[in-house]
Amino acid sequence: MTAPQRPRVPRRALDGVLLLDKPLGLSSNDALIRAKRLYLAKKAGHTGTLDPLATGLLPLCFGEATKFSQDLLEADKTYEATMRLGIRTTTGDAEGEPVDTRAVTCDEAAVLATLPGFLGNIVQVPPMYSALKRDGKPLYEYARAGQTVEREGREVTIHALELLACALPDVTFRVTCSKGTYVRTLAEDIGEALGCGAHLVALRRTGVGALTLEHSVTLDALSDATESERDAWLQPVDALLSTFPSVHLDEDATRRFLHGQRLKLAELNVSREAMNASRVRVYAAAQGRLLGVAKPGEGVLAPERLVVTAEN
């Protein structure tokens, strides 16, 4: 006899953002799969990966929020990182093998004097152990095969760089940086500037755009929670868009906007800040619900991405 099939557990249509505090040793995709299973969510995605070595803020998007995950990929990030001076590794972090060992002759004053040189626009050469592709193949595949390929330097921006602790050979710092910044490359470059080399031994992401760890939750806490407690951890979809100015539409403009029509800015109550923004979040004034995002320009408000709900 064929064993009876287990009944399928129905998936839920959830819309929102979960601020997950990712644990050490887990990939971003594995963390997403676990959270999606706990929520029984139909649709979910993350907003940019954290290495297994890294912990901290990993915003997960459910349902309609997945439409706006790209906006967080573009956002600035804040990290707290610890580098160990005197040792360079194959990967630039603690997962690699040592390739160079030098004496650490600098002191805290030298570290403090060196950090400001990395503020502003700097050029980084992407590490070989990265997911960037060359001829359709990730760089880490070349690296694992013992090959090194030429990489062009890329400009990134270091907005803030602060020393948190100096217990040599370990140095802990906080950095706020633009998208595309490799913190382990930053640690290596700081180590070279200090004359002794360095590699990253710990990394924790504390901020993505305007989102922080303050309202985050761990997978363990989610596992122990009831369904209603889990749902209470979900932030609204527009948590991803809090840095965009807002525009509120009346009933007629709401209807036309949801049909994808471009609206004349002169006919709307739009602030100067919103007029000059590259993107705005758009709400129905009557209900206060998010309709989507739009681009203002050339005298019109052009719908870009719409939020689909039962009310549309």
Q: Confidence class of residue 2 from pLDDT cuts 50, 70 and 90?
A: low
Residue 130 has pLDDT above 80, yes or no: no
Q: What is the mean pLDDT of residues 173-193?
A: 96
Over range 126-139, report the average pLDDT.
Answer: 68
Catalytic residues: 51
Indicate whether 242 pLDDT > 60: yes
Q: What percent of the chain has pLDDT over 90?
A: 70
Residue with tokens 């979040």: 281
pLDDT at 286: 82
Predicted confidence at residue 104, as pLDDT, reads: 97
pLDDT grade, residue 243 (50/70/90)? Answer: confident
When pLDDT is averaged across residues 185-197 and rounded to a whole number, the result is 97
> Quick one: what percent of the chain has pLDDT higher than 70?
91
Cβ-based burial of 201 (10 A; exposed 0-12, middle 13-18, buried ≥19): buried
Q: What is the structure's pLDDT at 11?
A: 84
Looking at the predicted structure, is the pLDDT value of residue 163 above 60?
yes
Mean pLDDT of 224-244: 93
Mean of all residue pLDDT scores within the chain: 90
pLDDT confidence band for 47 (50 / 70 / 90) = confident
> What is the CATH code for 77-208?
3.30.2350.10
Out of 41-45, 127-131, 161-165, give the one with best mean pLDDT.
161-165
**What are the structural domain ranges in the chain?**
16-75+211-239, 77-208, 244-306
Least confidently predicted of 21-25, 90-94, 136-140, 246-250: 136-140
pLDDT above 70 (res 140): no
Q: Which CATH architecture has domain 244-306?
A: Roll (2.30)
Contact 137, 122 (CB under 8 A): no
Query: Residue 129: which pLDDT band, with cuts at 50, 70 and 90?
Result: low
| Contact present, 169 and 85 (Cβ < 8 Å) | yes
CATH code: domain 16-75+211-239 is 3.30.2350.10
Q: Would strands 54-62 and 198-208 be described as parallel, antiparallel, or unpaired?
A: parallel
Residue-wise burial string across 40-76, b where 16 or more C-beta atoms lie within 10 A, e elsewhere: ebebbbbbbbbbbbbbbbbbbbbbbbbbbbebbeebb
| pLDDT score at 6 | 65
Same fold, 16-75+211-239 and 77-208: yes
pLDDT band at 202 (very low <50, low <70, confident <90, very high): very high
Predicted local distance difference test score (pLDDT) of residue 152: 79
121/80 Cα distance (integer angstroms): 20
Q: What's the rounded mean pLDDT across residues 184-188?
A: 95
Predicted local distance difference test score (pLDDT) of residue 153: 79
For the chain, the straight-line distance linking the first and the last C-alpha, in angstroms and rounded, comes to: 49
